[in-house]
C-alpha cells in the first residue's frame, strides 16, 4: 500500500469519528440499497452519500439544515 492510501484512510477514520461525536444521531438519509456506486475498475466507492445528522430546533420542532 502506498503512503497516500494509508494517509487517506487515516484521515477518513478521523473524520468519521468526529462526525459520530459531533452528531450522535447521524444516519443515512436514504436506504443503503439506493446508494449509487461507481462502475469503475479504477475508482471504488459511491458517487454521493446522503446523510441526516438529526438536528432539530428545540423551539418549534423544525429541522435545522445548517447549524451555523
Q: What percent of the chain has pLDDT over 90?
A: 43
Confidence of residue 45 (pLDDT cuts 50, 70, 90): confident
Give the DSSP letter of residue 59. T
Look at residue 16 and give its three-state secondary structure.
Answer: helix
Does pLDDT of 59 surpass 70? no
Does pLDDT of 51 surpass 70? yes
Does pLDDT of 65 surpass 70? no
What is the structure's pLDDT at 39?
Answer: 83
Look at residue 48 and give its three-state secondary structure.
Answer: coil
Q: What percent of the chain has pLDDT over 70?
A: 79
Question: Domain locations in the chain?
Answer: 3-52
Amino acid at each position: 500500500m502506498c503512503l497516500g492510501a494509508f494517509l487517506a484512510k487515516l484521515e477518513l477514520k478521523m473524520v468519521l469519528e468526529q462526525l459520530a461525536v459531533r452528531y450522535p444521531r447521524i444516519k443515512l438519509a436514504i436506504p443503503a440499497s439506493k446508494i449509487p456506486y461507481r462502475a469503475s475498475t479504477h475508482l471504488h466507492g459511491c458517487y454521493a452519500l446522503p446523510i441526516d445528522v438529526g438536528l432539530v430546533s428545540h423551539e418549534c420542532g423544525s429541522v435545522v439544515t445548517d447549524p451555523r
